[in-house]
Structure 1
Amino acid sequence: MAAFDDIKQLAHPYHLLNLIMSLSFLTAKYTPVLCEILFPEGDCGELTMWESEVMFFMIVIIAFRTRKSGSRTMLAYVSVASTYAKLCNVLLWFSADPVYGILYLVFAITHFLLVGEPVYQGPENLTYFQGKELDEELQRDKNTVWLITFYTAWSPACSSLAPIFAKLSAQYALDNLKFGKIDVGRYPDAAKKYHINDSAFSLQLPTISVFKKGAEVERRPCLDANAKFQKFYFTEDNIKASFDLNNMYLQCKKDLEAKKGKKEAHVKAE
């Protein structure tokens, strides 16, 4: 079922155009008529040594980043791969001709601005924080348990987590168990305060943290005994198990019922 959902999402124009841009240079090189138009005579049908090195470097980076980001779905792999493939295509097109490189960049920027990555359209119960709003909310209401995702808009791994986290919020949210998100790319002060590395090579994007009584008590990914970040796969089942969401939900629900019972008893006493 998950694979079928991924295939449906990959049929979206955003991902189809990503695929075209990722394969554009190779397609041009190995398509006879197109190659003869774009490249000098004799450059068709094979890659130069430098072009081969760029391609090899791209493959290594994609393998490294998908492994480190914890990509476990087809959509996650494709998103990570297309991001780095497009960066390599920029280098390849510029090396072939600066005009081609500029046109490729213009097309990529237009694609990003006008098409846009498809977003989750299902039910959710999320609070989107800006700037210092998260700090203020954590200090304002210390009786609420918060699950917060720290993310960036440009990270494929964060995009893959978004629908999963939204579904969990719809399933588990209570008056005293809430889900929130903050874009540390837009609000770097939040990244600094909560010790999130928001660089392009960060192993902390995304990060999910649990806050109780205004303080962080747990996060994923986390550091191991050697102060290295443990690999964490952001699947629905892993998140539920890692944060013990079922028991957390039951405890919060029990607390709500107890609070409600005390309130009713107080009203009757009056």
Structure 2
Amino acid sequence: MRAIKQLCRFGWEQALSCLFPVVIFASLALTQIIPLPLLPRYDWLLLICLLMQWGMVKSGLETRDELKVITLFHIIGLCLELFKVHMGSWSYPDEGYSKLFGVPLYSGFMYASVASYLCQAWRRLDVKLIQWPPFLVVVPLAAAIYLNFFTHHYWIDIRWWLSGLVIVVFWKTWVEYVIGGTRYHMPLALSFFLIGFFIWIAENIATFFGAWEYPNQRDAWSLVHLGKVSSWLLLVIVSFLIVATLKRVKGQGEKANGANLNTSGRRHLSQEGTQ
């Protein structure tokens, strides 16, 4: 019974962390079914995402620091979308005033929602990383994974080499998280795969509701190829590495500030004692 309760608690915390993605999926479904006045569908989706983002920050569900991370992911995702649509990997066939070179601006929020989930889950589950690799290894690896999304159109696709490198680099790295006061551990590589797989499921839902369209879905919707799991897996890794690196940098900065305050306090007491 305790295991079932813990699983339910874990599922509840995950559901709360997925609030932004859930709103996006609900908006995709509703705007597909309900006739929309005044503006095209893509523009309504952009307005909904902007209002959702404002509401989460205003209500305290997201902090201003998390908003900065999410904005960074919006930019990263939008750059990837512009390139992929230009290369014909997928398309956004509907009209919209907020489209830039064939890409609706709301699409960046789909990447931002992944960052929102990671930030929310990190805070709610009190995530800690055990045996995290050095900064000089993590950053080039994340950069190589992201660049491969672009370069494989002109050069060889090295995603499987990068996936193998991820396993080697993070072989000893574990994720520690808390559920109901109990700490659990999971290999980081396994968490990457699980998140990537569930995003692939979400991608099937999104394409079903017309969020975007792959070439093989132009005549009728069909299941997204299972091979896309590897793409989402690598994108999740990039997302996780950026969030983890930023949190570690912030944590080190807070420790340094705390040490400086303690030193200043000791000096102040020492001076008072001398006087």
Structure-1-length-normalised TM-score: 0.27
Larger fraction in helix: 2
Larger radius of gyration: 1
Instruction: Report the structure, 1 or 2, having the larger strand content.
Output: 1
